Amino acid sequence: MAITNLIRFDNLRGDIFGGVTAAIISLPLALAFGVASGVGPIAGLYGAVCVGFFAALFGGTPTLISEPTGPMTVVMTAIVAGFVASDPVNGLAMAFTVVMLAGLWQIIFGIFKLGKYITLMPYSVISGFMSGIGVILIILQIAPFLGQAAPKGGVIGTVAAIPNLLVNVNPPEAILGGLTLAIIFLMPKKLKKLVPPQLIALIVGTIISVTVFQNAEIRRIGEIPVGLPTLQLPTFTPGQITRIFVDSVMLAMLGCIDTLLTAVVADSLTRTEHDSNKELIGQGIGNIVSGLCGGLPGAGATMGTVVNIQTGAKSAVSGLTRALVLLVVVLGAAKLTQPIPMAVLAGIALKVGIDILDWSFLKRSHKVSIKGSLIMYGVLLLTVFVDLIVAVGVGVFVANILTIERLSSLQSQEVKLITDNDDDVRLSAEEKMLLDQGAGRILLFYLSGPMIFGLSKAIAREHNAMQDADILVMDLSDVPMLGVTASLAIENAIRDAHDKGLQVYVAGASAKIQSRLERLGLFDLIKAEHIVADRTTALRLSVVSLPTETSPDLETETPENLIPT
Protein backbone atom coordinates (compact mmCIF):
# COMPACT_ATOMS: atom_id res chain seq x y z
CA MET A 1 0.00 0.00 0.00
CA ALA A 2 1.55 3.31 -1.07
CA ILE A 3 1.99 5.81 1.75
CA THR A 4 4.58 8.12 0.20
CA ASN A 5 1.90 10.54 -0.96
CA LEU A 6 0.81 11.06 2.67
CA ILE A 7 4.22 11.19 4.38
CA ARG A 8 6.32 14.10 3.18
CA PHE A 9 9.18 16.00 4.80
CA ASP A 10 8.89 19.31 2.97
CA ASN A 11 6.79 20.80 5.80
CA LEU A 12 8.49 19.18 8.78
CA ARG A 13 8.20 22.13 11.15
CA GLY A 14 4.48 22.63 10.52
CA ASP A 15 3.74 18.91 10.74
CA ILE A 16 5.63 18.44 14.02
CA PHE A 17 4.05 21.52 15.58
CA GLY A 18 0.60 20.37 14.43
CA GLY A 19 1.18 16.87 15.81
CA VAL A 20 2.37 18.11 19.21
CA THR A 21 -0.58 20.50 19.48
CA ALA A 22 -3.01 17.73 18.53
CA ALA A 23 -1.41 15.48 21.18
CA ILE A 24 -1.97 18.11 23.85
CA ILE A 25 -5.65 18.25 22.87
CA SER A 26 -5.91 14.46 22.69
CA LEU A 27 -4.50 13.75 26.15
CA PRO A 28 -7.41 15.00 28.29
CA LEU A 29 -9.98 13.65 25.83
CA ALA A 30 -8.35 10.21 25.74
CA LEU A 31 -8.33 10.05 29.53
CA ALA A 32 -11.95 11.25 29.71
CA PHE A 33 -13.18 8.79 27.10
CA GLY A 34 -11.29 5.92 28.72
CA VAL A 35 -12.93 6.62 32.07
CA ALA A 36 -16.36 7.18 30.47
CA SER A 37 -16.18 3.84 28.63
CA GLY A 38 -15.76 1.91 31.84
CA VAL A 39 -12.49 0.32 30.66
CA GLY A 40 -10.18 2.86 32.28
CA PRO A 41 -8.03 5.85 31.27
CA ILE A 42 -5.22 3.69 29.93
CA ALA A 43 -7.59 2.23 27.31
CA GLY A 44 -8.24 5.75 26.02
CA LEU A 45 -4.50 6.42 25.76
CA TYR A 46 -3.80 3.12 24.00
CA GLY A 47 -6.64 3.84 21.58
CA ALA A 48 -5.30 7.32 20.82
CA VAL A 49 -1.81 5.93 20.17
CA CYS A 50 -2.72 2.85 18.13
CA VAL A 51 -5.54 4.22 15.99
CA GLY A 52 -3.76 7.54 15.54
CA PHE A 53 -0.49 6.00 14.40
CA PHE A 54 -1.73 3.34 12.00
CA ALA A 55 -4.56 5.44 10.53
CA ALA A 56 -2.00 8.16 9.76
CA LEU A 57 0.43 5.63 8.30
CA PHE A 58 -2.02 3.75 6.07
CA GLY A 59 -4.96 6.15 5.73
CA GLY A 60 -6.06 8.30 2.81
CA THR A 61 -6.34 11.76 4.42
CA PRO A 62 -2.92 13.36 5.10
CA THR A 63 -3.98 15.75 7.86
CA LEU A 64 -6.63 13.60 9.58
CA ILE A 65 -6.22 13.02 13.32
CA SER A 66 -7.72 9.72 14.46
CA GLU A 67 -8.46 8.85 18.07
CA PRO A 68 -11.28 7.70 20.38
CA THR A 69 -14.26 9.99 19.73
CA GLY A 70 -17.47 10.74 21.57
CA PRO A 71 -19.70 8.63 19.30
CA MET A 72 -17.30 5.67 19.32
CA THR A 73 -16.96 5.90 23.11
CA VAL A 74 -20.72 5.88 23.61
CA VAL A 75 -21.08 2.70 21.56
CA MET A 76 -18.07 1.10 23.23
CA THR A 77 -19.52 1.91 26.65
CA ALA A 78 -22.70 -0.02 25.82
CA ILE A 79 -20.68 -2.92 24.38
CA VAL A 80 -18.44 -3.19 27.44
CA ALA A 81 -21.38 -2.96 29.85
CA GLY A 82 -23.35 -5.61 27.97
CA PHE A 83 -20.55 -8.17 27.69
CA VAL A 84 -19.24 -7.71 31.24
CA ALA A 85 -22.77 -8.11 32.63
CA SER A 86 -23.34 -11.35 30.70
CA ASP A 87 -19.86 -12.78 31.26
CA PRO A 88 -17.80 -11.11 34.03
CA VAL A 89 -14.76 -13.30 33.29
CA ASN A 90 -14.46 -12.95 29.50
CA GLY A 91 -16.71 -9.93 28.90
CA LEU A 92 -13.95 -7.34 28.56
CA ALA A 93 -11.92 -9.56 26.22
CA MET A 94 -15.00 -10.06 24.03
CA ALA A 95 -15.55 -6.28 23.95
CA PHE A 96 -12.02 -5.83 22.58
CA THR A 97 -12.74 -8.65 20.11
CA VAL A 98 -15.62 -6.51 18.83
CA VAL A 99 -13.14 -3.65 18.29
CA MET A 100 -10.81 -5.92 16.28
CA LEU A 101 -13.68 -7.30 14.20
CA ALA A 102 -14.94 -3.77 13.58
CA GLY A 103 -11.50 -2.90 12.22
CA LEU A 104 -11.64 -5.95 9.96
CA TRP A 105 -15.03 -4.82 8.63
CA GLN A 106 -13.59 -1.38 7.87
CA ILE A 107 -10.75 -2.95 5.90
CA ILE A 108 -13.29 -5.04 3.95
CA PHE A 109 -15.36 -1.90 3.24
CA GLY A 110 -12.24 -0.20 1.92
CA ILE A 111 -11.06 -3.15 -0.19
CA PHE A 112 -14.46 -3.42 -1.86
CA LYS A 113 -14.48 0.37 -2.41
CA LEU A 114 -17.61 1.00 -0.36
CA GLY A 115 -16.29 4.26 1.07
CA LYS A 116 -18.37 6.46 -1.24
CA TYR A 117 -21.55 4.69 -0.14
CA ILE A 118 -20.99 4.91 3.62
CA THR A 119 -22.20 8.49 3.97
CA LEU A 120 -25.08 8.17 1.51
CA MET A 121 -27.60 8.69 4.27
CA PRO A 122 -30.14 11.49 4.61
CA TYR A 123 -28.77 14.35 6.66
CA SER A 124 -31.82 14.24 8.94
CA VAL A 125 -30.82 10.69 9.95
CA ILE A 126 -27.13 11.56 10.46
CA SER A 127 -28.08 14.66 12.46
CA GLY A 128 -30.53 12.79 14.69
CA PHE A 129 -28.07 9.93 15.20
CA MET A 130 -25.15 12.18 16.14
CA SER A 131 -27.31 14.40 18.36
CA GLY A 132 -28.66 11.28 20.07
CA ILE A 133 -25.11 10.12 20.77
CA GLY A 134 -24.37 13.56 22.20
CA VAL A 135 -27.38 13.29 24.53
CA ILE A 136 -26.25 9.81 25.65
CA LEU A 137 -22.75 11.09 26.43
CA ILE A 138 -24.18 14.00 28.44
CA ILE A 139 -26.53 11.75 30.43
CA LEU A 140 -23.80 9.23 31.21
CA GLN A 141 -21.58 12.00 32.64
CA ILE A 142 -24.19 13.32 35.09
CA ALA A 143 -23.28 10.88 37.88
CA PRO A 144 -19.46 11.36 37.80
CA PHE A 145 -19.98 15.10 37.27
CA LEU A 146 -21.93 15.20 40.57
CA GLY A 147 -19.33 13.05 42.30
CA GLN A 148 -21.07 9.69 42.33
CA ALA A 149 -20.75 6.28 40.75
CA ALA A 150 -22.73 5.63 37.59
CA PRO A 151 -26.11 4.00 38.27
CA LYS A 152 -26.91 0.65 36.73
CA GLY A 153 -29.11 0.54 33.64
CA GLY A 154 -27.19 2.88 31.35
CA VAL A 155 -29.09 5.90 29.99
CA ILE A 156 -32.52 4.93 31.29
CA GLY A 157 -31.10 3.96 34.68
CA THR A 158 -29.27 7.29 34.95
CA VAL A 159 -32.35 9.31 33.96
CA ALA A 160 -34.42 7.47 36.56
CA ALA A 161 -31.75 8.07 39.20
CA ILE A 162 -31.32 11.82 38.58
CA PRO A 163 -33.43 12.87 41.63
CA ASN A 164 -31.33 10.62 43.87
CA LEU A 165 -28.09 11.89 42.29
CA LEU A 166 -29.09 15.49 42.99
CA VAL A 167 -29.97 14.73 46.61
CA ASN A 168 -26.63 12.97 47.24
CA VAL A 169 -24.40 15.33 45.28
CA ASN A 170 -20.74 15.51 46.36
CA PRO A 171 -20.11 19.30 46.58
CA PRO A 172 -16.29 19.32 46.02
CA GLU A 173 -16.53 17.12 42.91
CA ALA A 174 -19.54 19.04 41.57
CA ILE A 175 -17.59 22.28 42.02
CA LEU A 176 -14.62 20.81 40.14
CA GLY A 177 -16.91 19.63 37.34
CA GLY A 178 -18.58 23.03 37.12
CA LEU A 179 -15.20 24.77 37.14
CA THR A 180 -14.06 22.53 34.27
CA LEU A 181 -17.08 23.51 32.16
CA ALA A 182 -16.64 27.18 33.04
CA ILE A 183 -13.00 27.18 31.91
CA ILE A 184 -13.80 25.42 28.63
CA PHE A 185 -16.79 27.63 27.83
CA LEU A 186 -15.48 31.00 29.05
CA MET A 187 -11.82 30.83 28.04
CA PRO A 188 -11.08 33.74 25.61
CA LYS A 189 -10.74 32.79 21.95
CA LYS A 190 -7.28 34.33 21.70
CA LEU A 191 -6.08 32.13 24.55
CA LYS A 192 -7.76 29.06 23.02
CA LYS A 193 -5.54 29.50 19.97
CA LEU A 194 -2.46 29.22 22.16
CA VAL A 195 -3.46 26.34 24.43
CA PRO A 196 -6.45 23.94 24.47
CA PRO A 197 -9.03 24.86 27.15
CA GLN A 198 -9.44 21.15 28.00
CA LEU A 199 -5.78 20.97 29.06
CA ILE A 200 -6.07 24.14 31.14
CA ALA A 201 -9.21 22.75 32.81
CA LEU A 202 -7.41 19.47 33.49
CA ILE A 203 -4.41 21.18 35.09
CA VAL A 204 -6.37 23.80 37.06
CA GLY A 205 -8.95 21.28 38.26
CA THR A 206 -6.25 18.87 39.43
CA ILE A 207 -4.28 21.58 41.26
CA ILE A 208 -7.38 22.85 43.05
CA SER A 209 -8.36 19.31 44.01
CA VAL A 210 -5.02 18.65 45.71
CA THR A 211 -4.81 22.06 47.41
CA VAL A 212 -8.20 23.55 48.18
CA PHE A 213 -9.94 20.16 48.50
CA GLN A 214 -6.99 18.16 49.80
CA ASN A 215 -8.99 16.83 52.75
CA ALA A 216 -12.17 16.15 50.77
CA GLU A 217 -13.14 12.73 49.52
CA ILE A 218 -12.62 12.99 45.78
CA ARG A 219 -12.56 10.15 43.29
CA ARG A 220 -9.43 10.25 41.12
CA ILE A 221 -8.02 8.34 38.15
CA GLY A 222 -5.58 6.48 40.36
CA GLU A 223 -2.62 4.43 39.25
CA ILE A 224 -2.19 3.85 35.53
CA PRO A 225 0.02 0.97 34.39
CA VAL A 226 3.21 2.23 32.78
CA GLY A 227 4.75 0.40 29.83
CA LEU A 228 3.61 -1.66 26.91
CA PRO A 229 0.08 -3.08 26.99
CA THR A 230 -0.85 -6.70 27.52
CA LEU A 231 -2.10 -8.20 24.27
CA GLN A 232 -5.82 -9.02 24.17
CA LEU A 233 -6.34 -12.12 22.05
CA PRO A 234 -9.69 -12.50 20.24
CA THR A 235 -12.16 -14.18 22.61
CA PHE A 236 -15.71 -15.32 22.06
CA THR A 237 -18.18 -17.91 23.24
CA PRO A 238 -20.70 -19.71 21.02
CA GLY A 239 -23.60 -17.95 22.71
CA GLN A 240 -22.13 -14.50 21.99
CA ILE A 241 -21.10 -14.90 18.34
CA THR A 242 -24.20 -13.21 16.95
CA ARG A 243 -23.92 -10.33 19.39
CA ILE A 244 -20.23 -9.84 18.61
CA PHE A 245 -21.03 -9.83 14.89
CA VAL A 246 -23.85 -7.28 15.17
CA ASP A 247 -21.93 -4.98 17.54
CA SER A 248 -18.83 -5.06 15.33
CA VAL A 249 -20.80 -4.07 12.23
CA MET A 250 -22.45 -1.22 14.14
CA LEU A 251 -19.11 -0.01 15.50
CA ALA A 252 -17.48 -0.27 12.06
CA MET A 253 -20.28 1.68 10.36
CA LEU A 254 -20.20 4.42 12.98
CA GLY A 255 -16.44 4.67 12.69
CA CYS A 256 -16.71 4.93 8.90
CA ILE A 257 -19.33 7.66 9.06
CA ASP A 258 -17.49 9.60 11.77
CA THR A 259 -14.19 9.35 9.88
CA LEU A 260 -15.42 10.20 6.40
CA LEU A 261 -17.44 13.19 7.60
CA THR A 262 -14.29 14.49 9.30
CA ALA A 263 -12.27 13.79 6.14
CA VAL A 264 -14.68 16.02 4.21
CA VAL A 265 -14.02 18.79 6.75
CA ALA A 266 -10.28 18.30 6.24
CA ASP A 267 -10.74 18.51 2.46
CA SER A 268 -12.59 21.82 2.76
CA LEU A 269 -9.80 23.32 4.89
CA THR A 270 -6.87 22.04 2.80
CA ARG A 271 -8.49 22.24 -0.66
CA THR A 272 -7.54 18.62 -1.27
CA GLU A 273 -9.46 15.41 -1.82
CA HIS A 274 -9.11 12.37 0.43
CA ASP A 275 -9.15 8.72 -0.65
CA SER A 276 -12.14 7.36 1.28
CA ASN A 277 -11.44 3.67 0.58
CA LYS A 278 -7.79 3.93 1.59
CA GLU A 279 -8.85 5.86 4.69
CA LEU A 280 -11.18 3.06 5.75
CA ILE A 281 -8.36 0.53 5.37
CA GLY A 282 -6.10 2.68 7.56
CA GLN A 283 -8.82 3.10 10.18
CA GLY A 284 -9.44 -0.63 10.14
CA ILE A 285 -5.77 -1.46 10.72
CA GLY A 286 -5.67 1.07 13.55
CA ASN A 287 -8.73 -0.37 15.27
CA ILE A 288 -7.46 -3.95 14.97
CA VAL A 289 -4.18 -2.96 16.65
CA SER A 290 -6.06 -0.92 19.27
CA GLY A 291 -8.27 -3.90 20.12
CA LEU A 292 -5.20 -6.14 20.43
CA CYS A 293 -3.63 -3.64 22.82
CA GLY A 294 -6.77 -3.20 24.91
CA GLY A 295 -7.48 0.27 23.56
CA LEU A 296 -10.72 2.05 22.69
CA PRO A 297 -11.90 2.12 19.07
CA GLY A 298 -11.23 5.34 17.22
CA ALA A 299 -12.21 7.39 14.20
CA GLY A 300 -11.41 10.70 12.57
CA ALA A 301 -11.70 13.46 15.18
CA THR A 302 -12.94 16.81 13.94
CA MET A 303 -11.46 18.94 16.73
CA GLY A 304 -7.98 17.43 16.52
CA THR A 305 -8.01 17.51 12.71
CA VAL A 306 -9.01 21.18 12.51
CA VAL A 307 -6.38 22.23 15.08
CA ASN A 308 -3.77 20.11 13.30
CA ILE A 309 -4.44 21.88 10.00
CA GLN A 310 -4.66 25.34 11.55
CA THR A 311 -1.27 24.93 13.20
CA GLY A 312 0.43 24.20 9.90
CA ALA A 313 0.22 20.45 9.27
CA LYS A 314 0.10 19.24 5.67
CA SER A 315 1.06 15.57 5.76
CA ALA A 316 0.64 12.40 7.79
CA VAL A 317 3.87 13.20 9.67
CA SER A 318 1.67 15.26 11.99
CA GLY A 319 -0.52 12.27 12.89
CA LEU A 320 2.55 10.08 13.48
CA THR A 321 4.12 12.78 15.66
CA ARG A 322 0.97 13.09 17.75
CA ALA A 323 0.84 9.31 18.32
CA LEU A 324 4.51 9.17 19.33
CA VAL A 325 4.08 12.05 21.81
CA LEU A 326 1.17 10.21 23.45
CA LEU A 327 3.23 7.00 23.47
CA VAL A 328 5.90 8.78 25.51
CA VAL A 329 3.18 9.76 27.99
CA VAL A 330 1.96 6.16 28.21
CA LEU A 331 5.46 4.74 28.64
CA GLY A 332 6.89 7.25 31.10
CA ALA A 333 4.61 10.02 32.27
CA ALA A 334 1.39 8.17 33.03
CA LYS A 335 2.02 8.46 36.80
CA LEU A 336 1.51 12.23 36.53
CA THR A 337 -2.15 11.64 35.66
CA GLN A 338 -2.97 9.77 38.91
CA PRO A 339 -4.37 12.76 40.88
CA ILE A 340 -6.72 13.91 38.10
CA PRO A 341 -10.29 14.04 39.53
CA MET A 342 -12.96 11.99 37.81
CA ALA A 343 -15.31 14.99 37.96
CA VAL A 344 -12.89 17.02 35.83
CA LEU A 345 -12.81 14.30 33.19
CA ALA A 346 -16.62 14.10 33.37
CA GLY A 347 -16.78 17.83 32.70
CA ILE A 348 -14.53 17.47 29.67
CA ALA A 349 -16.57 14.56 28.30
CA LEU A 350 -19.83 16.42 29.00
CA LYS A 351 -18.58 19.35 26.91
CA VAL A 352 -17.79 16.91 24.08
CA GLY A 353 -21.38 15.64 24.28
CA ILE A 354 -22.68 19.20 24.04
CA ASP A 355 -20.48 19.81 20.98
CA ILE A 356 -21.71 16.63 19.26
CA LEU A 357 -25.29 17.93 19.32
CA ASP A 358 -26.15 19.34 15.90
CA TRP A 359 -27.34 22.69 17.23
CA SER A 360 -27.50 24.29 13.79
CA PHE A 361 -30.00 21.77 12.43
CA LEU A 362 -31.84 21.35 15.73
CA LYS A 363 -32.71 25.05 15.75
CA ARG A 364 -33.99 25.27 12.18
CA SER A 365 -34.97 21.76 11.09
CA HIS A 366 -38.69 22.58 11.38
CA LYS A 367 -38.18 25.53 9.04
CA VAL A 368 -36.36 23.43 6.45
CA SER A 369 -38.74 20.44 6.41
CA ILE A 370 -41.38 19.24 8.85
CA LYS A 371 -40.93 15.63 7.69
CA GLY A 372 -37.15 15.91 7.93
CA SER A 373 -37.50 17.40 11.41
CA LEU A 374 -39.76 14.55 12.56
CA ILE A 375 -37.26 12.00 11.19
CA MET A 376 -34.39 13.75 12.95
CA TYR A 377 -36.15 13.88 16.34
CA GLY A 378 -37.42 10.31 15.91
CA VAL A 379 -33.89 9.02 15.25
CA LEU A 380 -32.59 11.06 18.19
CA LEU A 381 -35.11 9.54 20.62
CA LEU A 382 -34.60 6.02 19.28
CA THR A 383 -30.83 6.44 19.61
CA VAL A 384 -31.09 7.57 23.23
CA PHE A 385 -33.80 5.28 24.56
CA VAL A 386 -33.90 2.22 22.27
CA ASP A 387 -30.90 1.18 20.19
CA LEU A 388 -28.38 2.74 17.80
CA ILE A 389 -28.95 0.18 15.03
CA VAL A 390 -32.73 0.43 15.33
CA ALA A 391 -32.49 4.22 15.19
CA VAL A 392 -30.44 4.29 12.00
CA GLY A 393 -32.42 1.47 10.37
CA VAL A 394 -35.80 3.06 11.06
CA GLY A 395 -34.55 6.53 10.12
CA VAL A 396 -33.05 5.44 6.79
CA PHE A 397 -36.11 3.32 5.97
CA VAL A 398 -38.62 6.11 6.65
CA ALA A 399 -36.49 8.77 4.93
CA ASN A 400 -36.02 6.60 1.83
CA ILE A 401 -39.70 5.70 1.65
CA LEU A 402 -40.66 9.39 1.80
CA THR A 403 -38.03 10.24 -0.82
CA ILE A 404 -39.15 7.45 -3.14
CA GLU A 405 -42.78 8.49 -2.72
CA ARG A 406 -41.93 12.11 -3.57
CA LEU A 407 -39.75 11.19 -6.57
CA SER A 408 -42.32 8.69 -7.82
CA SER A 409 -45.06 11.32 -7.58
CA LEU A 410 -43.01 13.75 -9.64
CA GLN A 411 -41.81 11.13 -12.10
CA SER A 412 -45.30 9.68 -12.61
CA GLN A 413 -46.17 12.87 -14.47
CA GLU A 414 -43.74 11.68 -17.12
CA VAL A 415 -45.72 8.48 -17.74
CA LYS A 416 -48.40 9.28 -20.33
CA LEU A 417 -50.58 7.52 -22.83
CA ILE A 418 -50.81 9.90 -25.79
CA THR A 419 -53.39 9.74 -28.63
CA ASP A 420 -54.27 12.02 -31.53
CA ASN A 421 -56.48 14.10 -29.20
CA ASP A 422 -53.58 15.01 -26.90
CA ASP A 423 -51.48 18.12 -27.34
CA ASP A 424 -48.15 17.27 -25.81
CA VAL A 425 -45.23 19.68 -26.09
CA ARG A 426 -42.74 16.80 -26.34
CA LEU A 427 -44.02 15.84 -29.79
CA SER A 428 -42.57 17.41 -32.89
CA ALA A 429 -44.86 18.78 -35.63
CA GLU A 430 -44.31 15.63 -37.70
CA GLU A 431 -45.09 13.34 -34.76
CA LYS A 432 -48.31 15.21 -34.03
CA MET A 433 -49.27 14.96 -37.71
CA LEU A 434 -48.60 11.22 -37.72
CA LEU A 435 -50.74 10.70 -34.61
CA ASP A 436 -53.53 12.75 -36.19
CA GLN A 437 -53.34 10.57 -39.27
CA GLY A 438 -53.74 7.56 -36.97
CA ALA A 439 -57.21 8.89 -36.07
CA GLY A 440 -57.04 7.46 -32.54
CA ARG A 441 -55.97 3.99 -33.69
CA ILE A 442 -52.34 4.60 -32.63
CA LEU A 443 -51.47 4.87 -28.92
CA LEU A 444 -48.14 6.35 -27.87
CA PHE A 445 -47.09 5.14 -24.41
CA TYR A 446 -44.52 7.76 -23.36
CA LEU A 447 -42.14 7.21 -20.43
CA SER A 448 -39.37 9.52 -19.25
CA GLY A 449 -36.67 9.38 -16.62
CA PRO A 450 -35.43 6.50 -14.45
CA MET A 451 -38.19 3.92 -14.07
CA ILE A 452 -37.87 3.00 -10.39
CA PHE A 453 -40.25 0.62 -8.62
CA GLY A 454 -42.38 3.51 -7.34
CA LEU A 455 -43.54 4.22 -10.91
CA SER A 456 -45.10 0.80 -11.50
CA LYS A 457 -48.43 2.13 -10.20
CA ALA A 458 -48.37 5.02 -12.70
CA ILE A 459 -47.51 2.64 -15.55
CA ALA A 460 -50.36 0.33 -14.51
CA ARG A 461 -52.75 3.30 -14.30
CA GLU A 462 -51.99 4.40 -17.86
CA HIS A 463 -52.10 0.79 -19.01
CA ASN A 464 -55.59 0.34 -17.57
CA ALA A 465 -56.72 3.49 -19.35
CA MET A 466 -55.66 2.05 -22.70
CA GLN A 467 -58.52 2.39 -25.19
CA ASP A 468 -59.36 0.38 -28.28
CA ALA A 469 -56.67 0.80 -30.91
CA ASP A 470 -54.70 -1.07 -33.51
CA ILE A 471 -51.13 -0.12 -32.60
CA LEU A 472 -49.21 0.58 -29.38
CA VAL A 473 -45.90 2.47 -29.57
CA MET A 474 -43.91 2.01 -26.36
CA ASP A 475 -41.57 5.03 -26.29
CA LEU A 476 -38.50 4.42 -24.10
CA SER A 477 -36.27 7.06 -25.70
CA ASP A 478 -35.97 9.12 -22.52
CA VAL A 479 -35.61 6.18 -20.11
CA PRO A 480 -31.99 5.82 -18.92
CA MET A 481 -32.72 3.11 -16.37
CA LEU A 482 -35.42 0.46 -16.06
CA GLY A 483 -35.96 -1.17 -12.67
CA VAL A 484 -37.26 -4.70 -12.21
CA THR A 485 -40.69 -3.68 -10.89
CA ALA A 486 -41.19 -1.11 -13.66
CA SER A 487 -40.01 -3.72 -16.19
CA LEU A 488 -42.75 -6.08 -15.06
CA ALA A 489 -45.35 -3.29 -15.30
CA ILE A 490 -44.25 -2.56 -18.88
CA GLU A 491 -44.34 -6.29 -19.61
CA ASN A 492 -47.98 -6.42 -18.46
CA ALA A 493 -48.87 -3.50 -20.74
CA ILE A 494 -47.16 -5.06 -23.77
CA ARG A 495 -48.61 -8.53 -23.18
CA ASP A 496 -52.09 -7.09 -22.67
CA ALA A 497 -51.81 -5.12 -25.93
CA HIS A 498 -50.60 -8.23 -27.75
CA ASP A 499 -53.48 -10.31 -26.35
CA LYS A 500 -55.92 -7.67 -27.63
CA GLY A 501 -54.43 -7.97 -31.11
CA LEU A 502 -52.50 -4.68 -31.15
CA GLN A 503 -49.25 -4.36 -33.06
CA VAL A 504 -46.51 -3.30 -30.64
CA TYR A 505 -43.55 -1.07 -31.46
CA VAL A 506 -40.68 -0.38 -29.05
CA ALA A 507 -38.88 2.90 -29.73
CA GLY A 508 -35.61 4.28 -28.44
CA ALA A 509 -34.72 1.48 -25.99
CA SER A 510 -31.04 1.37 -25.08
CA ALA A 511 -29.09 -1.86 -25.48
CA LYS A 512 -29.32 -2.53 -21.72
CA ILE A 513 -33.09 -2.00 -21.65
CA GLN A 514 -33.53 -4.12 -24.79
CA SER A 515 -31.58 -6.88 -23.06
CA ARG A 516 -33.91 -6.75 -20.06
CA LEU A 517 -37.03 -6.83 -22.24
CA GLU A 518 -35.57 -9.75 -24.15
CA ARG A 519 -34.95 -11.66 -20.91
CA LEU A 520 -38.60 -11.11 -20.03
CA GLY A 521 -39.53 -12.88 -23.27
CA LEU A 522 -41.18 -9.82 -24.82
CA PHE A 523 -39.25 -10.02 -28.05
CA ASP A 524 -41.12 -13.24 -28.80
CA LEU A 525 -44.23 -11.07 -29.05
CA ILE A 526 -42.67 -8.15 -30.92
CA LYS A 527 -41.39 -8.39 -34.47
CA ALA A 528 -37.73 -7.52 -34.93
CA GLU A 529 -38.61 -4.76 -37.41
CA HIS A 530 -40.87 -3.20 -34.77
CA ILE A 531 -37.90 -2.43 -32.51
CA VAL A 532 -36.73 0.96 -33.81
CA ALA A 533 -34.34 3.70 -32.82
CA ASP A 534 -36.80 6.55 -32.20
CA ARG A 535 -40.51 7.25 -31.86
CA THR A 536 -40.74 9.23 -35.09
CA THR A 537 -39.72 6.14 -37.03
CA ALA A 538 -42.12 4.02 -34.98
CA LEU A 539 -45.02 6.41 -35.74
CA ARG A 540 -44.21 6.47 -39.45
CA LEU A 541 -44.21 2.68 -39.60
CA SER A 542 -47.40 2.57 -37.52
CA VAL A 543 -49.29 4.86 -39.89
CA VAL A 544 -48.19 2.76 -42.86
CA SER A 545 -49.28 -0.49 -41.21
CA LEU A 546 -52.75 0.77 -40.21
CA PRO A 547 -55.67 -0.89 -42.01
CA THR A 548 -56.63 1.42 -44.94
CA GLU A 549 -60.31 1.62 -43.97
CA THR A 550 -59.36 2.90 -40.53
CA SER A 551 -57.91 6.15 -41.81
CA PRO A 552 -59.33 7.51 -45.08
CA ASP A 553 -56.83 10.36 -45.18
CA LEU A 554 -54.08 7.88 -45.89
CA GLU A 555 -55.36 7.36 -49.42
CA THR A 556 -53.60 10.60 -50.34
CA GLU A 557 -50.36 9.40 -48.77
CA THR A 558 -47.96 6.93 -50.26
CA PRO A 559 -45.85 4.51 -48.24
CA GLU A 560 -42.77 6.06 -49.73
CA ASN A 561 -43.63 9.37 -48.07
CA LEU A 562 -44.04 7.78 -44.63
CA ILE A 563 -41.31 5.18 -44.39
CA PRO A 564 -37.97 6.73 -43.42
CA THR A 565 -35.17 6.40 -45.89
d(CA 283, CA 92): 22
For residues 297 and 282, give the distance between their C-alpha atoms in angstroms, rounded to a whole number.
13
Is residue 207 over pLDDT 70?
A: yes
pLDDT grade, residue 423 (50/70/90)?
low
Q: Where are the beta strands (DSSP E) in 395-511?
A: 415-418, 442-448, 471-478, 503-507
pLDDT of residue 560: 46
Say yes or no to pLDDT of 523 above 80.
yes
- The count of C-alpha atoms lying within 13 angstroms of the C-alpha of 304, restricted to the half-sphere facing its C-beta, is 32
Mean pLDDT, residues 315-342 taken together: 88
Cβ(286)–Cβ(123) under 8 Å?
no
Could you read off the pLDDT of 460-476 as tens digits, one per residue?
Answer: 877 777 778 889 999 99
pLDDT category at 427 given cuts 50, 70, 90 is confident
- Report d(CA 475, CA 509) in Å as an integer: 8
Nearest 5°: the CA angle 118, 120, 124 is 120
Label residue 521 left, alpha or beta by phi (over 0 means left) and psi (-120 to 50 means alpha): left
Query: In this structure, are strands 66-67 and 299-300 parallel, antiparallel, or unpaired?
Result: antiparallel
Residue 516 and residue 508: Cα distance in Å, rounded? 14
The pLDDT tens digits for 121-174 are 888 998 898 899 999 999 999 999 999 988 887 889 999 999 999 999 999 999
Please tell me the predicted confidence (pLDDT) of residue 422: 60
The span from the CA of 205 to the CA of 183, in Å, is: 10
pTM: 0.79
Residue 231 is which amino acid?
L
| C-alpha–C-alpha distance, residues 59 and 333, integer Å | 28
Percentage of the residues of the chain whose pLDDT score is greater than 90:
47
Q: Of 187, 221, 224, 216, nearest to 344 (Cα)?
A: 221
Most confident among 54-58, 125-129, 225-229, 529-533 (mean pLDDT): 54-58
Cα 133 to its chain centre, rounded Å, is 14
pLDDT attached to residue 246: 92
In the chain, what are the domains? 12-386 (no CATH), 413-562 (3.30.750.24)
pLDDT score recorded for residue 558: 45
Mean pLDDT of the chain: 87
